[in-house]
């Protein structure tokens, strides 16, 4: 879909992509070292804002008239973007809390059964992360629904809409981003020049557009 509508995607996403790449380069070379926790929170918030601008336009390019969306090439922040950002922040916070709680449960339960020395915490964390992809897959349709304002999105509605397709959606929101992360990581090197950073950043946004388009198409298919 992004390839078929590449002209509309390029025009509609040029500003969010440029802002995102500039942010990535500045963060890599001029990252503040004081107050690491506060710096991390600010970084997550800024990335969430940029991601919202990018993702909302991606969903609309797939689900609505792409040429009409592309004509508004200057991104605008409206109540639609605010709702989308709130959902992004809510899912992010839930994921962190759920990861910590589930990891504590797994570690303690395994410790009582086989002893703490027999448990690899790293592998336990990976297992918990994979398990959390299932509810994320079931609820991911909240994002395209919010972006196109076709339905007042609610968690119960999303869970009902995706019934019987949880494992398929888990692959879309889990396996596909993992594969793209491996592709991006294959061309990344620690001593990259600014030009290389620009290319890697552009590749990342191209693959991100494909991921978001996949979620949009899942939503469209389920709605039909």
pLDDT tens, residue by residue, 167-180 = 999 999 999 999 98
Q: Which residues contact 62 (CB under 8 A, 6 or more apart)?
A: 1, 5, 144, 212, 213, 216, 217, 220
* Predicted pLDDT of residue 169: 95
Mean pLDDT of 35-52: 87
Average of per-residue pLDDT values in the chain: 87
Closest listed residue to residue 215, CA positions, set 96, 72, 46, 91 = 91
Task: Say which residue the tokens 């797994």 belong to.
Answer: 106
Q: What is the pTM of this model?
A: 0.88
Distances from the Cα of 71 to the Cα of 11, 61, 65, 133, angstroms:
8, 11, 10, 35
Up-side HSE of residue 24: CA atoms within 13 Å toward CB?
Answer: 21
Up-side HSE of residue 76: CA atoms within 13 Å toward CB?
Answer: 8
Distances from the Cα of 131 to the Cα of 20, 95, 125, 177, angstroms:
30, 11, 10, 15
Mean pLDDT of 192-197: 74
Mean pLDDT of 124-136: 89
Task: Say which residue the tokens 């964390």 belong to.
Answer: 125
Q: Are the CB atoms for 162 and 138 separated by under 8 Å?
A: yes
Q: Where are the domains of the chain?
A: 6-223
* Predicted pLDDT of residue 143: 96
Closest listed residue to residue 132, CA positions, set 91, 178, 95, 92 = 95
* Predicted pLDDT of residue 24: 80
Task: Say which residue the tokens 């339905």 belong to.
Answer: 151
How much of the chain is in helix, strand and coil states, percent to nearest 5? 80, 0, 20
């Amino acid at each position: 879909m992004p390839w078929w509508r590449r002209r509309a995607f390029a025009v509609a996403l040029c500003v969010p992509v440029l802002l995102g790449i500039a942010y990535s380069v500045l963060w890599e070379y001029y990252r503040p070292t004081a107050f690491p926790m506060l710096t991390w929170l600010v970084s997550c918030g800024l990335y969430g804002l940029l991601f919202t601008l990018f993702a909302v336009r991606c969903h609309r390019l797939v689900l609505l008239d792409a040429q009409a969306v592309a004509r508004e090439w200057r991104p605008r922040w409206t109540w639609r973007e605010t709702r989308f950002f709130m959902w992004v922040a809510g899912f992010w916070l839930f994921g962190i809390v759920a990861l910590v709680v589930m990891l504590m449960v797994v570690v303690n339960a395994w410790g009582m059964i086989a002893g703490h020395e027999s448990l690899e915490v790293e592998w336990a964390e990976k297992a918990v992360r994979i398990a959390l992809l299932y509810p994320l897959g079931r609820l991911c349709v909240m994002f395209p629904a919010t972006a196109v304002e076709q339905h007042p999105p609610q968690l119960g509605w999303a869970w009902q809409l995706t019934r019987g397709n949880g494992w398929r959606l888990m692959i879309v929101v889990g396996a596909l981003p993992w594969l793209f992360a491996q592709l991006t990581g294959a061309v990344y090197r620690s001593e990259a020049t600014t030009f290389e950073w620009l290319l890697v950043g552009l590749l990342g946004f191209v693959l991100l557009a494909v991921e978001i388009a996949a979620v949009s198409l899942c939503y469209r298919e389920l709605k039909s």
